[in-house]
Amino acid sequence: MKNISWDDLQIFYHVAATGGLSGAARALDLSAPTIGRRMLALEQMTGQALFHRSQTGYALTRAGETLLVKVRAMHAAARPVHDLLGAEAETPLVRLSAGTATAMFLVDRFAALTRPGDDFRLNVITTEAVLDIAHREIDLGIRNRPAETGNLASRPLGTLRFAPYRSWAAPRPELLEWVAMDPAHARHPAAKWLHAQDLPIRAMANTVATLHQLVRAGAGIGVMPCMIADADPALARAGPLIEDLTETQHLVMHDDDRHRPHIRRLIDRIVQVYKDNAELLGGARPLRG
């Protein structure tokens, strides 16, 4: 391993974090073919297959998962050096991770999270993966369960409910079938629930954002969080709330960092955003039903 460059390990880290070449290319400002070649070279150098490659992306092998644990620790250890040497080191960057729907909800309320003159910058990381806060892969994460292990703390944010939705403009809504996340990307309980119902599925998507677009386009009925779908005038509820999917969202943080002034300020603002939008989150404000 002594001849492996830190640059290659950084590329490996981003491919593993994003699940493919395209996401890593956006993060690193490199071309996908270049990243693919670098990962092949890394595998040749280590003598082990690090990825299972498929049309849906790059999944880690057991050897890749072992390497990722080591690289995460190296990445976390290097961050203070990058912060010290960065041109904008005087303005800390707070990394907040959330699933696609939650990230969309928060970005729509960006003005309530950051204000002119703040002593921090916000980096919203949209991912369905659970990133490692204990090793400071991120600073804050919004999840559907509280902190369970490690030197972590959490705060409950609010109740989130789900319902089936369709396009308001669908000419024959009674004829609509369903749209779903494809099984390989169905990580959230709402996505798994739909596959367990033995319903006719007309179309599938590999991202929550594409699923939303399919529903808006009239491709079928989809299960969506009320905080997004009830705020979209193009959508209408296609059935009652699915109580089995009701969850409490939690803000998870590193216990050593949560009292830092700028992180505490952002935590308080996120909590207030959830408080102000409790009815929307809980499905009490449908536009149509």
What pLDDT band is residue 83 in, cutting at 50, 70 and 90?
low
Least confident of 104-108, 129-133, 163-167: 129-133
User: In angstroms, how far apart are the furthest CA atoms of the chain?
Assistant: 64
Q: Is residue 161's pLDDT more than 80?
A: yes
Q: Could you tell me which of 111, 102, 124 has the C-alpha nearest to residue 248?
A: 102
Least confident of 74-88, 92-106, 119-133, 244-258: 74-88
- For domain 162-245, say whether CATH 3.40.190.10 is its number: yes
Sequence-separated (6 or more) residues with CB below 8 Å from residue 41: 8
Q: For residues 257 and 139, is the Cβ–Cβ distance under 8 A? A: yes
Distance from C-alpha of 30 to C-alpha of 103, rounded to nearest angstrom: 25
Sequence-separated (6 or more) residues with CB below 8 Å from residue 230: 237, 280, 283, 285, 286, 287
Q: Where are the domains of the chain?
A: 6-85, 93-155+248-281, 162-245
CB count, 10 Å around CB of 131? 18
Give residue for tokens 């309980």. Answer: 189
pLDDT score of 78: 67
As a CATH number, domain 6-85 is: 1.10.10.10
Looking at the domain 93-155+248-281, which fold is it? D-Maltodextrin-Binding Protein; domain 2 (3.40.190)
What pLDDT band is residue 104 in, cutting at 50, 70 and 90?
very high
Q: Is residue 150's pLDDT more than 80?
A: no
Distance from C-alpha of 253 to C-alpha of 256, rounded to nearest angstrom: 9
**% pLDDT > 90, the chain:** 64
- Segment 262-273 shows an average pLDDT of 96
> Rounded to 5, what percent of the chain is helix, strand, coil?
40, 20, 35
Domains 93-155+248-281 and 162-245 equal at CATH topology level: yes
Q: Whole-model pTM?
A: 0.70
Distance from C-alpha of 10 to C-alpha of 30, rounded to nearest angstrom: 12
